[in-house]
Amino acid sequence: MQSKTQGNHQPDRNGRRVGINLTDIVDIAIGLAVILVGWQVVFWLKLYPQSIFPSPATTLRTFLRLIQAGTLPTDAYTTGYRLIAGFALVMIIGLAVGVLMVKFKRFGRTMASFSLGLQAFPSIAWVPFAILIVGLNDYGIIFVIVMSSAFSVMLSTYSGLRNIPPIYLKAASNMGAHKVALLTNVMLPASMPSLITGMRQAWSFSWHAVIGAEMVMGTVSGLGFALIYGWDFLRMDVVIASMITVFIIGFVVDRLIFYRLERSVRSKWGLAS
């Protein structure tokens, strides 16, 4: 009989289980409960005016009202399509340049150094450049996403491909695999754990970039705009409701897609504990 703590895990080909189990859910619930209790205690202590620090109940009512009015879903949709478009470009550019960095060693060494330096840039630093070069529009926001996240994918691709055990490449070459076949059938699968880690990190960077760009670039929709709107009119309940939406979307996507994908890949390669 399946243990209760295994939840809805499905076994992979090696008999290991991947996904979210009951223990994960309990840990998440405990963490949220601690945050809510601490939030309520600070509210009861009246350390800040209610307009600046609303109660959980007030924030929940605002959150539900914004959903019912369609404001929050519209903002989430707007941010979502900007994020998806930018992230798709991040993956295409990052993978392509990462492969070229491995193919041309001199270019790879130079680009790796530049990428490490540029990756340290805060995403908000790209906003003035995007406004001047691209404009105050969705393309400008997508530009910020790409510049903030692509270097992470480049470096993870470069590192993953370079750290493939040489015996894999020699064995594949002896069996007749060359160039494209070697890349697609040996190198990319072997570097997949590193690629998935870079993809997950790039998703996080993209979230930071899209929210920051929406806040600074003065858009009229999106979750970043909702945060600025709440701040301008001292509506902290709107600010916190928007922050909760950002957290929920980011958390759900990470756990349901990237976390499970990473666990599956690591389990397949025998890296899962």
Catalogue all structural domains in the chain, each as residue range(s) with its CATH number: 74-268 (1.10.3720.10)
**Inter-residue contact 164 to 177 (CB < 8 Å):** no
- Estimate the crossing angle of helix 236-253 against helix 71-103, to 10 degrees: 40
> What pLDDT does residue 270 have?
57
Calculate the average pLDDT of the chain: 81
> pTM to 2 decimals?
0.78
> What pLDDT does residue 7 have?
46
Tell me the residue length of the chain: 273
> What pLDDT does residue 16 have?
47
The residue with tokens 């899209």 is: 210
> What pLDDT does residue 93 have?
93
Q: Which residues of the chain have pLDDT under 50?
A: 1-19
- Report d(CA 17, CA 9) in Å as an integer: 5
Nearest to 158 by CA among 95, 92, 87: 95
- Estimate the crossing angle of helix 192-216 against helix 260-268, to 10 degrees: 160
